[in-house]
Amino acid sequence: MARIILYKGQSNYGSLRLHVDQLGSALRKSGHNVIIIDLMEKYSLTNLNRELNNKPDFVLGFNGIGIDLTSQGKSIYDIVNVPYIAAIVDHPHFHIERLSTKMNQLYVTCLDRSHLKFLRTYFPEKHIKGSMLWMPGGNRIISNDINVDSKEKYLDRDISILFTGTFRGEPERGWKNYAPSIKSLLDNITDKVLSSNLLSYENALETVLNELNMDLSKEQINKMNLLMPLVDSFVHAYRRYTFLEQLAQHNLNIDLYGIGWEKMKSKWSSFTFNGEGSFSDTLIKLKKAKIVLNTNYNFVDGGHERVFAAMINGAAIITDPSKVYMEEFQDKQDIFFYDWKQLDSVPANITNLLENPDELWEVAVSGQKKVLKSHTWEARAEQLIDFVELNKIIYSL
């Protein structure tokens, strides 16, 4: 069995800290020895040095925390000859500095296949030893068994519609003061992404450059990729705002948890504003919700933690699509998809679902069963161990 170090660190709503707890629990169930090092604690580096001297099989940090730890100018992972796995749960372009850290055994997981493609094109060939698609599992309250709700119990859930997440403000394009040529290029890329349900930032950039008959070098493309977080942040804020604005205009009653929403109280009068809420609190809310809403961060070929968490806790999820969701789940059978190009139809569709609770319950149950089969943290733990062992064998050939 493997000996594994998992890092904990700072995390909005405690979501990544909860990921560590749930992954650690799943790995221990399979007999692995898991050591959790909380890098926010006072003596964390002392504890880490002790555990590294006992030679773990690998170290994992979500979003690359702890990747850049050194001793006398050398990576601590190279000193002890241990692989480090950066489990990225955002687009990697937000973590370029961390992922640029040089070491002998850097592995990266991403929650979107287009992010893996980005890694292969941005970094030199041998910088990353291996990578794979690895999405967060369905978070749940570990101490409780997950049971499929009866129809009666599901109908007794007291939150009709739940949305959790941060309010990022009314969207503004953060490049308005850039040089006109760059501003125009970023505007065109943004408009391409917003015109589609399933277009990655990299493919949008490629499409726009082709339309302009421009052929940029790899260095120039990489410099443009450093600007993509601006586009990403705008698209995320714009879609979240326009989605909820559409629902507010139709006076849907939505329970909202997250930072920053209070400033919208006077405008979105049908919403209930419940304060920040932690991710652990959210797990309790998911067990009380009939419908959970999701905007998918433009993960066009991957999966967001909110979807699997909602489904494993027996709520019906309404989300924009991704290629992964479309492969794994059937629309109106396990999940409900909406189309960004037909957003005005969403309020009526939600109202119709609430008026037909039998359909809601059937979809919630079907989705929950599929997530319990394939998208638990236990399943993710097995994938992770297989990934590590396969790479070890390949590099020993």
d(CA 204, CA 228): 11
Of 78, 46, 63, 74, nearest to 6 by C-alpha is 63
HSE of 85, CA atoms in CB hemisphere, 13 A: 24
Confidence class for position 65, pLDDT limits 50, 70, 90:
very high
d(CA 193, CA 204): 6
| 109 in a structural domain | yes
β-strand partners of 291: 161, 316
Q: What is the mean pLDDT of residues 260-272?
A: 92
Amino acid at 118: F
| 7 in a structural domain | yes
Q: Are residues 213 and 71 in the same domain?
A: no
| 144 in a structural domain | no
d(CA 24, CA 46): 21
Q: What does DSSP say about strands 336-337 and 316-319: parallel, antiparallel, or unpaired?
A: parallel
- Two tokens at 59? 């170290």
Q: In what order do the strands lie in the sheet with 84-87?
A: 33-38, 3-8, 58-62, 84-87, 106-110, 130-133
Of 294, 256, 292, 302, nearest to 276 by C-alpha is 256
Percent of the chain with pLDDT over 90: 92
Residue 100: other Cβ atoms inside 10 A:
14
Burial call 171-188: b when 16+ CB within 10 Å, e when fewer: beeebeebeeeeeebbbb
| 218 in a structural domain | yes
> Largest alpha-carbon pair distance within the chain?
65
d(CA 208, CA 283): 41
Q: Are residues 195 and 218 in the same domain?
A: yes
β-strand partners of 38: 8
Confidence class for position 285, pLDDT limits 50, 70, 90:
very high
Taking only the tens place, the pLDDT of each residue in 347-356 is 999 999 999 9
| 254 in a structural domain | yes
Q: 3-state secondary structure string, 300-313? A: CCECCHHHHHHHHC
Of 327, 322, 257, nearest to 296 by C-alpha is 322
Please give the residue range of the domain that contains residue 301.
151-170+234-375
CATH at 296 = 3.40.50.2000
Of 151, 150, 155, nearest to 288 by C-alpha is 155
Q: Are residues 287 and 218 in the same domain?
A: no
d(CA 154, CA 361): 7
Q: Are residues 159 and 306 in the same domain?
A: yes
What is the structure's pLDDT at 276?
A: 87
d(CA 311, CA 248): 24
Q: What is the mean pLDDT of residues 247-261?
A: 95
Q: Which residues contact 263 (CB under 8 A, 6 or more apart)?
A: 167
| 143 in a structural domain | no
Q: Are residues 101 and 218 in the same domain?
A: no
| DSSP conformation class of 149 | P
Averaged confidence pLDDT in the chain: 95
Taking only the tens place, the pLDDT of each residue in 213-241 is 999 999 999 999 999 999 999 999 999 99
d(CA 346, CA 9): 37
Q: What is the mean pLDDT of residues 280-303?
A: 95
Decide: 260 and 166 in contact? Cβ < 8 Å: yes
Q: Are residues 197 and 217 in the same domain?
A: yes
Q: How many domains does the chain have?
A: 3
What is the structure's pLDDT at 146?
A: 76
Q: How many angstroms separate the Cα of 363 from the Cα of each of 223, 265, 317?
A: 44, 32, 9
d(CA 259, CA 267): 17
> Angle, nearest 10°, between helix axes 201-211 and 113-122?
60
Q: Which of 200, 216, 231 is the last residue of a domain?
A: 231
Token match 């019906």: residue? 316
Q: Are residues 83 and 122 in the same domain?
A: yes
Helix, strand and coil percent figures for the chain, each rounded to 5: 50, 15, 35
Q: Are residues 213 and 316 in the same domain?
A: no
Q: Are residues 44 and 96 in the same domain?
A: yes
| 288 in a structural domain | yes
Task: Tally the residues of the chain.
Answer: 397
Q: Are residues 347 and 388 in the same domain?
A: no
Q: Are residues 387 and 296 in the same domain?
A: no
- Two tokens at 68? 């850049």
Q: Are residues 112 and 191 in the same domain?
A: no
What is the structure's pLDDT at 144?
A: 65
Q: What is the mean pLDDT of residues 299-303?
A: 98
| 142 in a structural domain | no
Q: Is the pLDDT of residue 49 over 80?
A: yes
